[in-house]
Amino acid sequence: MLRAGLLRHKIEIQVKTAHRDMMGQEVVTWDAFAYAWASIDPLGGREYFAAQQIQSSISHKIMIRYQANIKPYHRIKWGEKIFDINAILNEGERNVSLILFCTEAV
């Protein structure tokens, strides 16, 4: 069960949009796709070491309520921080919550 008290950070899920400007140059922007309440946890030493076997650059674990349309090509914006999504786990395949393993963009 997902406790609402854990989801205390409001995040913006963004999608990349590309269009051409007047000179024909491709311009890439990130637009709001969805909003969600989330828990954001940096991975501790042991979790980070275990995660390195799968993905060496994972830095944060973000948990949100289940949304079927979230994909790895989206990104997360929380305040001024940007997180690239590396992997998405539908916890227990029960469509209750999603765990997003992310890298903080520097």
pLDDT of residue 60: 92
Q: Which pTM does this prediction carry? A: 0.80
Q: What is the β-pairing status of strands 26-42 and 60-65?
A: antiparallel
Of 19-28, 40-49, 89-98, the least confident: 40-49
pLDDT of residue 92: 84
pLDDT of residue 47: 53
Q: What is the β-pairing status of strands 75-78 and 81-90?
A: antiparallel
Domains of the chain, CATH where assigned: 4-104 (2.40.10.270)
Amino acid sitting at position 59: S
Look at residue 53 and tell me whether its pLDDT is greater than 70.
no
The pLDDT confidence band at residue 55, using thresholds 50, 70 and 90, is very low
Sequence length of the chain is 106
- Mean pLDDT on 49-76: 79
